[in-house]
Amino acid sequence: MYRWIDRFVPSLGGRADLVLKERMLVMSALVLALAALAFGVHAARLQGEIGGISVVLWGGALLALTYPYLQKRTGSAALPGTLIGLEFAALTGLVAFFGNGSDGVVLIWAPTIPLLTAFLVGPRAALATAAFAAAVITLLFWMDGAGLTPPDTFEPAQLVRLRLLALVSGLGLSAFLGWLYESQTLRGLRRINHDLLEAKERAEASERLKSALLMNMSHEVRTPLTGILVAAELLQGDTEGELADIAGAIHTSGARLLATLEAVLELAQVEGGALAARAEPLDLAGCLHDAVEPARAAASRKGLALELLLPAEPVRAEADPAMVRRILALLLDNAVKFTETGGVYVHLGADERAARIAVEDTGPGIGADFLPHAFEAFRQESDGHARSHEGAGLGLTLAQRLAALQGGSLSAESRRGRGSTFTLSLPLAAPVPPQRKPVLHPAPLQAEAGRGATS
């Protein structure tokens, strides 16, 4: 269908929206030329001669046929599309001028001019052609009022036929604009929506495949790695000297690899929707004690203080205990790893909106340019062989995702050389209603007196 039209389409093979717009311009130029030619012939038949209206219309038809060539030459629909709108407005005004002035039936076409230009070029060109058409019509009415128009060209009976033809052609033009809108806008939107759905399905399939692969790694990698760690630990206990050092290095490297693997698998579970939070009312003070104790040994080896600062009043959150402990373990491990002097301080508090746990360290801090990316997976401020600390860059990512699963959040504040503070916010648990103490009623005195009398 578009084979002959595509000869004038410079963007063929490029962006689909540009190709569609350039095809619409070729069609619009052809429709304008045919309409001008047909109206010129009809006007000549009504007048019985070739008058001014016919000459103007036929000239406009020839001019319209040059626009596809202009589009091919310029490589864009912008200039020829704007010229189509301007010519349409000029033809409307000239035909009305030669055909009974402001009473010209072709003025019914005027409102369609900016719509046509908007479809072919864009809103700026539509505004320009609308302004030009308004100026032409205003001039026509002014000349009509000043008596500067030629005498009536058509008889009343001919005007009735012309009005009917103008109405029919106006309806046809409206239908053509509707077809343009459907072709250029609605069909494009449907195509975009279809492409987005396909891309979404492909992404979901890829995500499922990735999750399945990572879950298979849990058995195929973690199981033999656990066996290596056990063997290295046994060998380290049964040997001395260089062999013991080698076994210790194997165990340390294997433990590091296992920690990375578990973080990757856990993140895959979270992203794949396989991990769900089981929230319950939780006393955060007890949870903090459980999480801080395992980190004291690592802090002590580096000579760091590790302090837990609790409020006087208990703080309860609606959260998953295992997930909260995992988040705290990740934050404490991160803080101890990056802190060389000073200490790590864990604060517990609450406000009217949430319970908050802040893990503060006196480490080197995070640069302002990297801080927005601190929670992105596999992102580290120092990359490559030059980095000073081990790790895959998954701890903060996993902690943030686990917080979000519980309806909470994890935020970071840091300044270079001033340390960092990571704050975990969790939903508050419903307050525990106060328990009513039982009221003890003394035994009736009369019963006691009665038993004493019988004895």
What is the DSSP annotation of 251-317? HHHHHHHHHHHHHHHHHHHHHTT------EEEEHHHHHHHHHHHHHHHHHHTT-EEEEE--SS--EE
Q: What is the mean pLDDT of the chain?
A: 79
Please tell me the distance from the alpha carbon of residue 148 to that of residue 126, in angstroms, as a whole number.
30
CA 196 – CA 114 distance, rounded (Å): 32
Q: What value does the mean pLDDT take over residues 47-59?
A: 82
Mean pLDDT for the stretch of residues 273-295: 86
Identity at 341, one-letter amino acid code = T
Domain residue limits, the chain: 5-198, 280-382+390-427
Residues 6+ apart with CB under 8 A from 76: 10
Average pLDDT, stretch 427-431? 84
Of 83-97, 137-151, 369-383, 427-441, give the lowest mean pLDDT range.
Answer: 427-441
Determine the pLDDT at residue 372. 85
Task: Give the mean pLDDT of 45-60.
Answer: 82
Question: Is the pLDDT assigned to residue 347 strictly greater than 90?
Answer: yes
Report the C-alpha gap between 358 and 376 in whole angstroms: 20
**Which tens digits make up the pLDDT trace of 222-277?**
778 888 888 888 887 788 888 888 888 888 788 778 777 777 777 777 776 777 88
Average pLDDT of the residues in 176-195: 70
What is the DSSP code (8-state) at residue 386? G
CATH topology for 280-382+390-427? Heat Shock Protein 90 (3.30.565)
Q: Is the pLDDT of residue 51 over 60?
A: yes
pLDDT band at 22 (very low <50, low <70, confident <90, very high): confident
The stretch 325-346 carries a mean pLDDT of: 90
**Residue 102 reports pLDDT greater than 60:** no
In this prediction, residue 417 carries a pLDDT of 83
Query: Which has the minimum average pLDDT: 25-39, 46-60, 244-258, 369-383?
Result: 369-383
pLDDT tens digits for range 348-403: 998 888 999 999 999 888 888 888 888 887 677 665 444 455 556 678 888 898 99
Please give the Cα distance from 10 to 12 (Å, whole number): 6
pLDDT score of 18: 77
Angle between helices 284-301 and 321-338 (to 10 degrees): 30
| CA pair distance 219, 427, nearest whole angstrom | 35
